Amino acid sequence: MPAVIPCADLQITRRYLDQLVEAAVRAPSGDNLQPWQFEVHPDGRRVIIRVDATRDPSPMNAGQRMAWIAVGAAAENMLAAARFNGQEAVVDFSHESDAAVVHVDDVPEAEFRPDPNILARVTNRKLYEGRAVTDQTLGLLQERTPPLAESKTDWIVDPARIEELAEIIRQSDAVLFGNPAMREAFFRSVRFDAAADAEVDEGLSLASLEIRRREVTAFRMASRMPHWLFRAAGVARTIGAKSAQLVKSSSGVCVITTTNDTPAAHVSVGRALSRAWLALTDAGLAAQPMMSPLVLANALRHASTSAFSASERQQSATLVDLLERALQLNDGDRPAFLLRFGYATPPSGRTGRLSTTRAFSTPH
Ligand SMILES: Cc1cc2nc3c(=O)[nH]c(=O)nc-3n(C[C@H](O)[C@H](O)[C@H](O)COP(=O)(O)O)c2cc1C
């Protein structure tokens, strides 16, 4: 690698890095809040990705753990985009600058082509068809998701185990949406101000949530209900029941585990997530994260004690325990991501992204 990059090369590299960052921001993030910030290193060969903690202060993102997963997914998208264009890039975690760092060695000779799987990947919150995947498809998914240094990916397709997970997710959703701070954070990211099917630049459109036209009023009312009414009407339980139905309609659940709770480990989880989701997209399968049990686990570890009542803490601890047993994990492994997948028609809406110019921390 030359110590000084000739000016013309730097220009090309910068354009290429911009194209990779375009791929990065297509990554999934909790509530589409895009909690990342990109900086191009002066050597023009490294992109530094940090968590922008101002983007997602929600208790669902306690300790910025969900944000680090999003950063990992963004970094992995850059690697996938480079590979699609015949180039290698690598990512590591810099403990010094507390950031994921993507190293890019060379610029493709041919014109840059966006990876169609990165463009097509989307969260699909519809009911799926319940059809099993073939052994061949399962083999392909496994092949594309080998263990990484700090994370491991498993594919659960046994209907009895899917049912067991559906029940845990049902109860976890009920606890999560029963908590006023968690639910307010979720509703704040819903774009009631935009047309239902608009590709909003941040947050969640009603169509992406599969809220039908006739349900919009009830959904908006639920978002404004005082706590006593929300409880009395059993809204959190209804949401839990719906989530269980969604999981049961799936062909399987992809589980990503890690061995520790550091930002580096969560970046690794995000990388594994991006690999799994791009492989699913390539195989024509729909996917949706079902993160309520892990949001509860995270809140138990990181949120201030006031975020949960004593009974919510107790319920959450029981559910996390149930999840760990249902997943039959090795000693020391802990669950970090759940992604249901299956066959489905396309989602009713998809979300857009903020401009990448905003995502750069340095002048652009
Ligand atoms: C850490 C993380 C947690 C998420 N949790 C959920 C979830 O529990 N339920 C859900 O429907 N989507 C969840 N998502 C999906 C995001 O809402 C989605 O990626 C975002 O809105 C952008 O939409 P897209 O995936 O269609 O591009 C999660 C994504 C990430 C990265």
pLDDT tens track for 185-220: 999 999 999 999 999 999 999 999 999 999 999 999
The residue whose C-alpha atom lies closest to atom 4 belonging to ligand 1 is 30
Q: Return the pLDDT at 334.
A: 95
CATH number (3.40.109.10, 3.40.50.300, 2.70.70.10, 3.30.300.30) of 7-120+351-359 reads 3.40.109.10
The residue whose C-alpha atom lies closest to atom 31 belonging to ligand 1 is 29
Q: Return the pLDDT at 280.
A: 98
The residue whose C-alpha atom lies closest to atom 10 belonging to ligand 1 is 289
CATH number (3.40.109.10, 3.40.50.1000, 3.20.20.70, 3.30.565.10) of 135-342 reads 3.40.109.10
Q: Return the pLDDT at 82.
A: 97
Ligand 1 centre from 32 Cα, in Å? 6
Ligand 1 centre from 73 Cα, in Å? 11
Which of 42-56, 155-169, 300-314, 333-347 is the least confident region?
A: 300-314
Distance, in Å, from the CA atom of 21 to the CA atom of 242, rounded to the nearest integer, reads 36
Distance, in Å, from the CA atom of 186 to the CA atom of 260, rounded to the nearest integer, reads 27
The model's confidence at residue 8, banded by pLDDT at 50, 70 and 90, is: low
Q: Which H or E run contains 340?
A: strand 334-342
Q: Within 10 Å of residue 159's Cβ, how many Cβ atoms?
A: 14
**Close Cβ partners of 327 (under 8 Å, ≥ 6 residues apart):** 154, 156, 255, 257, 335
User: DSSP letter at 190?
Assistant: B
Task: Name the residue of 22, 25, 26, 32 whose CB sits within 8 Å of the most ligand 1 atoms, as the mutation to test its pocket.
Answer: 32
The residue whose C-alpha atom lies closest to atom 18 belonging to ligand 1 is 28
- Cα–Cα distances in angstroms (integers) from residue 224 to residues 192, 243, 308, 339, in the given order: 12, 21, 20, 29
Distance of CA 58 to the CA centre of its chain: 15
Distance, in Å, from the CA atom of 245 to the CA atom of 2, rounded to the nearest integer, reads 56
* pLDDT tens per residue, range 111-132: 999 999 999 999 999 999 999 9
Enter the tokens of residue 59. 């208790």
* Neighbouring-strand partners of residue 334: 258
Mean pLDDT of 23-33: 98
**Close Cβ partners of 97 (under 8 Å, ≥ 6 residues apart):** 48, 50
The model's confidence at residue 3, banded by pLDDT at 50, 70 and 90, is: very low
Which of 43-47, 242-246, 253-257 is the least confident region?
A: 43-47
**Close Cβ partners of 226 (under 8 Å, ≥ 6 residues apart):** none
Enter the tokens of residue 359. 């995502």
Pocket of ligand 1 (CB under 6 A): 28-32, 66, 69-70, 73, 122-123, 125, 204, 288-291, 350-351
Residue intervals of the chain classified under CATH 3.40.109.10 are 7-120+351-359, 135-342
Enter the tokens of residue 86. 């015949």
Ligand 1 centre from 28 Cα, in Å? 6
Q: Which amino acid is at 348?
A: S
Helix ranges (H only) for 96-234 are: 116-120, 135-143, 159-178, 180-188, 216-224, 227-232
The more confidently predicted of residues 11 and 17 is 17
**Res. 4: pLDDT tops 90:** no
Q: Return the pLDDT at 364.
A: 54
Ligand 1 centre from 156 Cα, in Å? 20
Ligand 1 centre from 30 Cα, in Å? 5
Distance, in Å, from the CA atom of 181 to the CA atom of 59, rounded to the nearest integer, reads 7
Ligand 1 centre from 343 Cα, in Å? 18
User: DSSP letter at 4?
Assistant: S
How many residues comprise the chain? 364
Distance, in Å, from the CA atom of 1 to the CA atom of 248, rounded to the nearest integer, reads 52
Q: Return the pLDDT at 1.
A: 44
The model's confidence at residue 12, banded by pLDDT at 50, 70 and 90, is: low
Mean pLDDT of 140-167: 98
The residue whose C-alpha atom lies closest to atom 12 belonging to ligand 1 is 289
